Amino acid sequence: MKRKSGIFSTSYLTETISTQMKLKVFNTLKHKGFLGYDYGKSDFVDIENAMDSFLEYPRHSFRYKTEDFVLSCEEGEDYLGYSVDGGSDNSKIVIDFSNEALSQIGNVLFSFIDDEGSSPRDLRSIITNSGIKYLFKYNYFGLPYITKFGETFFHDFPAIKVEFLTSELVRVDLTDDIFSSISENTKNQVASYLHHFGLNNCEFYDISKYWYD
């Protein structure tokens, strides 16, 4: 298996991506200081000049002004994905972007951040019914999950960190560093906790199992 050094994320939404949602992502990128990739000029430009390309094309790339790394974004009918190479300094910028963008977009079903790789192929079908089969280093649960399990379920979750970003979005971290592995102690505590709710088949994402060439 060829492993890349970076992180990736996919955010599944409860509805088709609208122009309004795109504009919220665009404004978050602008606020975070990204330059936008202009497909007409095949170059990075001031993000205001890249708005037309951002709204028109299904794939985008953005570069942070000072750290000089590329955040590659992919947009589907009802999901947003991104990946980035680099170390801890870059990861903080990306995680902050994710927190702000998802909070602004709303209508989040489930999202995650983990080692760069491939998502489990049945993940979409699992989360459609607000199921919990896979857990990642950083997990974002949207309103369907909060409605199904209740706020207390997440408040009591034996995670490294639980944070309600909005009343409709909760972030659950299973590690304190995106580049560190989930500890066996955390895995055992989470598995025991989920068992009380009849959730007995949860897997912790392992890049070695889900790397598709």
For the chain, the domains span 6-204
Mean pLDDT of the chain: 81
pLDDT of res. 4:
44
Burial class (CB in 10 A: 0-12, 13-18, 19+), 187: middle
Residue-wise over 51-75: b if at least 16 C-beta within 10 A, else e? eebbeeeeebbbbbeeeebbbbbeb
Amino acid at 152: T
Q: What is the pLDDT of residues 133-175, one digit of tens each?
A: 999 999 999 999 999 999 999 999 999 999 999 999 999 999 9
CB 130 within 8 A of CB 104: no
Average pLDDT over residues 66-88: 68
Whether pLDDT at 104 is above 70: yes
Q: In angstroms, rounded to a whole number, what is the distance separating the alpha carbons of residues 65 and 170?
A: 29
Residues 182-213: pLDDT tens digits? 999 999 999 999 999 999 989 998 766 655 44
Q: Which of 10-24, 40-54, 136-150, 186-200 has the lowest mean pLDDT?
A: 40-54
Q: In Å, how far from its chain's centre is CA 67?
A: 20
Is the CB of residue 32 less than 8 Å from the CB of residue 62? no
Rounded distance, CA 59 to CA 83, Å? 12
What pLDDT sits at residue 37? 63
> Could you tell me which of 169, 201, 204 has the C-alpha nearest to residue 184?
204
Listed residue (166, 140, 38, 28) closest to 93, CA to CA: 28
How many residues comprise the chain?
213
